[in-house]
Structure 1
Amino acid sequence: MVASVQGSAPGGPTISFGGGAGGQQQAKPVPRLREDLKLLPGPTDLDGSPSWTILDPARGRYYSLSPQAVALLGAWDQGMPDRVLARAMAASRLPLELSDVDELARFLIANNLVAGDEPGMSGSYLRQRKAAKRSAFSWMLHNYLFVRVPLVRPDMWLDGLTPLGRMMFSKGAGLTLLTLVAVALYLVGRQWDVFLHTFTSFLTLEGAVWFGLAMVVAKVLHEMGHALAAKRFGCRVHSMGVALLVMMPVLYTDVSDAWRLPERHRRLIIGAAGMAVELGIAAIATILWTMMPDGPARSAVFFLAAVSWFMTLLVNLNPLMRFDGYYLLSDLIGVRNLQGRGFALARWHLRETLFGLGREPPEVLPPRTRHAVLLYAYGAWIWRFFLFLGIAVLVYHAFFKVLGIMLAAVEVCWFLAMPALREIGEWWKARDEMRMNRAMARSLAVLALLIGLAFVPWQGDIGLPAMLEASASPRLHPPAPARVVEVPVAAGARVTAGQPVVVLDNPDLDRKIEMIRLELDVTQRLIQRQAASAATAAEVGVLEGRLAARLAELDGLMAERARLVVRAPQDGIFRDPPADLMPGLWVSPARVLGLVVAAEGGRIEAYVRGEDLPRLQVGARGRFVTDDPARDPLPVVVTAVSETAVDALDQPALASQNGGPIATELDHERRPVPRGAVYRVWLEPDAGAGLPAGQTLALRGMVRIDAPAESFAASLWRRVIAVAIRESGF
């Protein structure tokens, strides 16, 4: 390889300059270089040798040259390939061949670095123009994920801000930034719970609007950081604008002129400048948030701090995305064009690992650098797989169904299936080189193992999120407003039906009973006195009627007093009394004084996914395993299965909003609605097993039901079919 490219053009030449095989083809003069090209010193290579860079000012592209290419270009004015080769070898003492001259000439023509009147250039231009022409559909396939729209050419007015750039990116500014970040982290660490609570409290539509505004401010300042750092080191800023990333607008700054800087630390500063500015914003906003009183201003700085921390640490610093972190990693390990070279090296490494072809690597790197590049490449492949898969799901749900299906299919086919098929095609082309060796034997063994795991039935149970409850657990309520006199039963104690659990009284009721008793005593004395006199004997009947009414009223009040002794309605265990239940406490009829849970028996309500429903049968046995690892599994049996999917969960503790295992979302009535089809299942403990004494009333856990064994492939196929049927309605 004589050159590596920061940008390349399609449509390579088909002519030869260094002669064909055996020298049968007549050699032609090498093409003349364009006069406006600039040869600039580049950074030191990994082996310590100097490098050079060609600047194409017309297109704003940079091309990194190897020492061999620099030696050949130094003798390029010799004209004929053999003379160029002889002069270059004499001057550099590098092992060069005519094929190197031919390769360099092809590279120069392919990237339009030679004079336009050279032979073959007109055909090259036509081929490049034809390759660049795309239909509207082809353009959409290639560009709907990323479209760049330049808005301003800021280089001239940025010249006036160069002093600001010198101040911002000096050693003193760096130390100040580190100090601010340390202080901010210390202060927010002392109020971390409040910070998290503030973040979750703004997860609303209004909060999203404020976060969007804060992101605009932070990203504008981020891009200004890149621009000012570039001007600080004498680079041009060609454009600033908006890029549409999966139809989402993001800002960008073109600082590709930084490639002309030979000092690696300067390029690192330019690459990290945006994150440094955002870290400064985050630190200052965080410090202000910890000091300001509640109000709109404190909310505003919170939004700015949260967005800046998030974007800097989780997005821009990620080297697997083509943002700042990628270019920083590329410069740190000294591998330019890291993604292209890393993917080429990883493809070679993958083929050698699988088949042991014995091919030479695309380039030779020091061991530590090679390991770093391979780690990056494999990590980027994994990241891109989940990223493109997530984008497919996003575009499917973001548009109406027909367009969503089309865009999701394009995403999966073009960015996931096509690269995989191309690589498999390369394996097929290399089939003649494949031999039975250690790598091949290992690959076949792993393949056989994976096929066995996929197609051999080994999954023999079904997991059902479930709640275990007592078969009966009536609540105890006061019959009327009353005062606690005594609680003769401790929490967790066994009680029998009719046993007093809480003794209450009501002073008003006691006064009424005492007054009626006094009135009865007076009435009885009047009856005795009137019966002794003939003149008043006629009034005895009236008094006896009053006496009977008061006796009936007394019976009612006594019955009401008897109800103030709250008794156990069944045999069981007294549980969950209020913590403040003690003598002297006034309670209302709505107050729960506790529960009497049946000592024997229990019921389990569980939910099964639609794809597992065919494997579940009434009478199937299994085990209920609670979330508490200290409890033993409980044997259970399926008693009934619902025939229709539930609209909402009757057990909120199983919903994801409450930390449960079933993915749900709240409807307008705040009910947990499952995101997929789930069916209700009822189970009972075997052999009368129930809730042991002293445990909580309801236990959350997982039921493992014994079911016919099924392979992973069959299970996956059923789930795919279920999703396809569910999403097939228009």
Structure 2
Amino acid sequence: RFVVVGGRRGRPATALLLVRIARSVEGMEDAARMFMNPDMEVTEFDSDSGKPMMLCVIPAGGEPVRLAVPAVYVELLRQFDGVRTRDEAIEAFRGIHGETFDTSWLQRLIETSLRPRGMLVEQGQDPMLAGAPTKPRRSFLFVKLPVIPPAIVDPIARVLGFLFHRPILIAGLLAFVASHVYVYGVLVHGQHVNFNSLDGGSILLLMLLSTLGTICHEFGHASAAAHFGCRRMTIGWGIYMVYTVLWTNVSEAWKLPRRQRAIVDIGGVHFESMFLLLMLGLHLATGNPIFLFAFIFIDLSIANTFNPFLRMDGYWLISDLFGVVNLRQQQNLLLQVAAHRLVGAPPPASRPTLSPRATVALVVYTILGTVFLAYIMYAIFTFAVMSVAVEYPGMLRAFWAQLQSGADFLALLGSAFELLWRALILTAATVTIWNLSRSGIRTASRIVSLRTPRAATDV
């Protein structure tokens, strides 16, 4: 109803006109007929969410949007045939399910989720653009740039896909374990390994070898996906938190069964472990310690990818192995339930909707992930603070002495590069510890707020 216009009371004639316009708009909305997006691809989604799920691939004018939704939502969408109104489609759906679903809840679901996401379209609306967001979609990568296109990735991945036959996977796992026992039990134990002994040239070579290992890692994901029939894969570069990363678009893997998706998740480590064997072989053949440093450095990178709290291989592996949809969201809900029980507060409105098996997996994942985070903080402090930071002031003084003595340009450039490399390590360590500490403080504050009684207020 329109009574006041522009902060001033309108004339009766104006008010009548506005009411008529409002009613005509309502009539147009009632007359609008929606139908299920004909260009949306719907397939079964293998999960353990406790209820059947479907994967909906919605065209969005560029990269399609993929959503895992309850199968009953798709059943609701199919009631929209372009002839029924919204309310008629809802009543047809409720005729199938009885009083299980509330009408007002279904209306909100349609208007706030299904329709804006392009799963429902109106007459005259382009189905290919219906799912295009009005704002750019947020990504967990701050920067996301494609580097190697599908025209190059797909042929190479198809050729290397044979490396994911079961006997080769088992042999690779055994070689991975044996090489680590030998490196850390024999080689590292028998000689002192100190990253501060690396000069500028060694650091550049180490970075080059690490980059080659990372490229192998990404082609491992692509080759595993290609082995199961996926296509149109892209490898790119991005920034995640404070780290530069490579990524591989294997979105078609969402159509695969869970076990196959899990193999795609570990495909990168499978290929990178082969690169580790190459580094070990070069070290044994040449005696050059840089290859041993590369083995350890790349190994640390592999361990970091299995951090289940970051959106890396470990995160997706847990999600796919146990069929937990929206792993981060489900974990947060689980922590909220645990916090409410800890302080004796009423249970939260939202709770995890998982099967008992998936719930147990999520609990174990959360506990192990918390222990892993504590270990990572200890490792960062030991390596970055105790090793690099302790020697950094002496390196700065040495560099200043070089400047005063008029050392040649190449020597100064090498020293500056060594300082920069270690400064980046210290910065990444500081940011990581700060983010983890801030997250822990926020969690503790929420738990304390649950225990704090609310002051009575007059109504």
TM-score by length of 2: 0.66
Hey, what does 1:160 align to over in structure 2?
A: 155
- Is residue 325 of structure 2 the alignment partner of residue 344 of structure 1? no
Note the C-alpha offset of 1:236: 3.6
Hey, what does 1:255 align to over in structure 2?
A: 250
User: Structure 2 counterpart of 1:113, which letter?
Assistant: M
What is the distance in 1 between the residues matched to 2:343 and 2:118?
39
What is the distance in 1 between the residues matched to 2:184 and 2:437?
45
Note the C-alpha offset of 1:147: 2.2
What is the distance in 2 between the residues matched to 1:380 and 1:204?
35
Gap change, CA 1:419 and 1:115, over 3 Å in 2: farther
Asked whether the equivalents of residues 180 and 284 of structure 1 are also in contact (C-alpha less than 8 Å), the reply is: no
Aligned pairs for 1:114-193 within 5 A: 114-115=120-121, 129=134, 146-152=141-147, 154-185=149-180, 187-188=182-183, 191-193=186-188
Secondary structure of 1:191's aligned partner: helix
Post-superposition CA distance 1:287-319 (Å, at most 9, x none):
4534x253xxx445434422332222x211221
User: Structure 2 counterpart of 1:68, which letter?
Assistant: V
Unaligned runs of 5+ in 2: 1-28, 386-391, 393-419
2:43 to 40, 44, 48: 40
Greater RCO (CA < 8 Å, at least 6 residues apart): 2
1:71 to 56, 70, 75: 75
Percent identity between matched residues is 19
Gap change, CA 1:268 and 1:358, over 3 Å in 2: closer
User: Structure 2 counterpart of 1:107, which letter?
Assistant: S
What is the distance in 2 between the residues matched to 1:306 and 1:361?
43
Which is strand-richer, 1 or 2?
Answer: 1
Asked whether the equivalents of residues 162 and 227 of structure 2 are also in contact (C-alpha less than 8 Å), the reply is: no
Hey, what does 1:57 align to over in structure 2?
A: 59
Secondary structure of 2:170's aligned partner: helix
Note the C-alpha offset of 1:343: 0.9
Which is helix-richer, 1 or 2?
Answer: 2
Asked whether the equivalents of residues 58 and 118 of structure 2 are also in contact (C-alpha less than 8 Å), the reply is: no
1:84 to 63, 71, 89: 89
What is the distance in 1 between the residues matched to 2:218 and 2:251?
13
User: Structure 2 counterpart of 1:305, which letter?
Assistant: F
1:273 to 255, 264, 267: 267
Note the C-alpha offset of 1:84: 2.8
Aligned pairs for 1:427-576 within 5 A: 427=450, 431=454
Hey, what does 1:95 align to over in structure 2?
A: 100
What is the distance in 2 between the residues matched to 1:225 and 1:174?
12
Secondary structure of 1:322's aligned partner: coil
User: Structure 2 counterpart of 1:334, which letter?
Assistant: G
Post-superposition CA distance 1:666-685 (Å, at most 9, x none):
xxxxxxxxxxxxxxxxxxxx
What is the distance in 2 between the residues matched to 1:82 and 1:116?
15
Post-superposition CA distance 1:549-589 (Å, at most 9, x none):
xxxxxxxxxxxxxxxxxxxxxxxxxxxxxxxxxxxxxxxxx
Secondary structure of 1:150's aligned partner: strand
Note the C-alpha offset of 1:31: 3.8
User: Structure 2 counterpart of 1:322, which letter?
Assistant: R
Secondary structure of 1:165's aligned partner: helix
Note the C-alpha offset of 1:331: 1.1
Gap change, CA 1:419 and 1:355, over 3 Å in 2: same
Asked whether the equivalents of residues 76 and 93 of structure 2 are also in contact (C-alpha less than 8 Å), the reply is: yes
- Is residue 306 of structure 2 the alignment partner of residue 306 of structure 1? no
What is the distance in 2 between the residues matched to 1:85 and 1:340?
29
Note the C-alpha offset of 1:379: 6.6
Aligned pairs for 1:310-325 within 5 A: 310-312=300-302, 314-325=303-314
1:212 to 184, 207, 213: 207
Note the C-alpha offset of 1:384: 9.8
Secondary structure of 2:100's aligned partner: coil
User: Structure 1 counterpart of 2:262, which letter?
Assistant: L
Post-superposition CA distance 1:217-245 (Å, at most 9, x none):
10011111112222222324453222124
User: Structure 2 counterpart of 1:289, which letter?
Assistant: H
User: Structure 2 counterpart of 1:110, which letter?
Assistant: P
Between Structure 1 and Structure 2, how many residues are aligned? 376
What is the distance in 1 between the residues matched to 2:156 and 2:335?
43
Note the C-alpha offset of 1:202: 4.6
Gap change, CA 1:361 and 1:159, over 3 Å in 2: closer
Unaligned runs of 5+ in 1: 1-25, 134-141, 434-730
Asked whether the equivalents of residues 336 and 348 of structure 2 are also in contact (C-alpha less than 8 Å), the reply is: no
What is the distance in 1 between the residues matched to 2:448 and 2:183?
54
Asked whether the equivalents of residues 42 and 56 of structure 2 are also in contact (C-alpha less than 8 Å), the reply is: yes
Hey, what does 2:399 align to over in structure 1?
A: none
Asked whether the equivalents of residues 32 and 123 of structure 2 are also in contact (C-alpha less than 8 Å), the reply is: no
Cα RMSD after superposing both structures: 4.6
Note the C-alpha offset of 1:82: 4.7
Note the C-alpha offset of 1:158: 2.7
User: Structure 2 counterpart of 1:257, which letter?
Assistant: E
Gap change, CA 1:28 and 1:276, over 3 Å in 2: farther
What is the distance in 2 between the residues matched to 1:102 and 1:425?
37
2:277 to 267, 283, 288: 283
Gap change, CA 1:234 and 1:307, over 3 Å in 2: same
Gap change, CA 1:351 and 1:244, over 3 Å in 2: same
- Is residue 355 of structure 2 the alignment partner of residue 353 of structure 1? no
Post-superposition CA distance 1:594-620 (Å, at most 9, x none):
xxxxxxxxxxxxxxxxxxxxxxxxxxx
User: Structure 2 counterpart of 1:96, which letter?
Assistant: F
Note the C-alpha offset of 1:177: 0.9
User: Structure 2 counterpart of 1:271, which letter?
Assistant: D
